[in-house]
Amino acid sequence: MSRLLLEEYGLRQAHITLLREGENSVFRVDIPSGERYALRLHTAGRHHPAALDSELEWLDLLARNGAIPVPQPVRSVSGSWVASLRVPPAPSLLCTLLTWLEGEALPEGQEFTLTQAEQAGEVLGQLHTQAEQFRPPAVFERPHYDAPYFLASARQLQQNITTFVDRQRLDRLNVALPQMLRKLGPLNDIPGGFGLIHADVHPGNFLQQETGLALIDFDRCGWGPFLLDLANADLALEPEERAALITGYTRFRALPAGYEHPLKALRVLAMIDNLAFLSERPEELPFVLEALPVVETALVAAAGSS
């Protein structure tokens, strides 16, 4: 099937290597001329064609501007970003093709080093500078990372752990999270700006190149506070690495006075969202349950702070 989809891009002779399976199946595509691509099969059905098209419009703009190294989407022979293949009785399969970025994946399961944290900050500062200038076309569909989104994420987490956690603990979360969100206020008014964010910033979505870090996997990009990307990036960093992240960021984009307080609250939201995602995988449940008390403590503190 992947070969049939490659024909949608005029690539009939290619060596295809499966890299990973998950929400998307990703393949490396090597063609005889020496060019290399990344082929994504969107098997989870999480995004419909209009949302994928919007992701790639944004990614294409970033690639053409050249401020940060990102993969560039490739149009099909029909001129569209998204190719579709129907092989009955299976449903239509959506496919996108990206140029291949050279670089070394950061070690799995490890956090940023001091140097990498600073480089990640530089990438995010430049990304958000581009996002501030972006004016979406009339049709542009991406997720919104707002209060309803995080409340829904918390409900998903609770559903997945309800048989393992005392009901009173879940009730406390149900009270503390809305309290914190009310104190935080509308997420599009948070100091530091609001716009298109990557929304999945962690070491696994960076490649180490000779001149710094490249950013990949924009599958979750959407509308949210810029500080949310920083919150995701520094979830498990030590104070020194967190400071390096901010140092790199502010080389390209200033942060307002007092940004630390909303950043701390957004870090809690990022933790809840991350645990909700991981709780969908049975093999990750032990980690989720181990990390939950840390999230509970941070959430209660944020909900009660002035």
Q: Distance between CA 235 and CA 111 in Å, rounded?
A: 9
Do 44 and 186 reside in the same domain of the chain?
no
Residue 186 has pLDDT above 50, yes or no: yes
Give the pLDDT band of residue 221 (cuts 50, 70, 90): very high
The residue-averaged pLDDT of 166-183 equals 91
The residue-averaged pLDDT of 191-220 equals 95
- In this structure, what are the phi and psi dihedrals at residue 97, rounded to the nearest 5 degrees? -125, 135
Structural domain of residue 241, as residue ranges? 114-304
Question: For residue 57, is it within any domain?
Answer: yes
Do 92 and 126 reside in the same domain of the chain?
no
What is the predicted pLDDT for the residue at 20?
85
What domain count does the chain have?
Answer: 2
The residue-averaged pLDDT of 188-203 equals 96
Instruction: Quote the percentage of the chain above a pLDDT of 90.
Output: 74
HSE value, Cβ hemisphere, 13 Å, CA-based, for 45: 3
Which residues have CB under 8 Å from 178's CB, separation 6+? 151
Query: Of the candidates 170, 177, 171, which has an alpha carbon nearest to the alpha carbon of residue 265?
Result: 177
What is the predicted pLDDT for the residue at 306?
45
The residue-averaged pLDDT of 113-136 equals 96
Do 75 and 141 reside in the same domain of the chain?
no
Q: Across all residues in the chain, what is the average pLDDT?
A: 91
What is the predicted pLDDT for the residue at 1?
57
CATH of the domain at 128: 3.90.1200.10
> Which of the residue ranges 105-109, 158-162, 218-222, 285-289 would you say has the lowest mean pLDDT?
105-109
> Which of the residue ranges 34-38, 88-92, 123-127, 134-138 would you say has the lowest mean pLDDT?
88-92
What is the predicted pLDDT for the residue at 109?
79
CATH of the domain at 36: 3.30.200.20
DSSP 180-242: HHHHH--GGGSTT-EEEE-S--SGGGEEEETTEEEE---TT-EEEEHHHHHHHHTTT--HHHH
Q: Under a CB-based contact definition with an 8 Å cutoff, are residues 173 and 229 in contact?
A: no
Do 175 and 276 reside in the same domain of the chain?
yes
What is the predicted pLDDT for the residue at 44?
55
How many residues are recorded in the chain?
Answer: 306
For the stretch 81-98, pLDDT in tens is 998 876 666 667 888 999
Residue 201 has pLDDT above 70, yes or no: yes
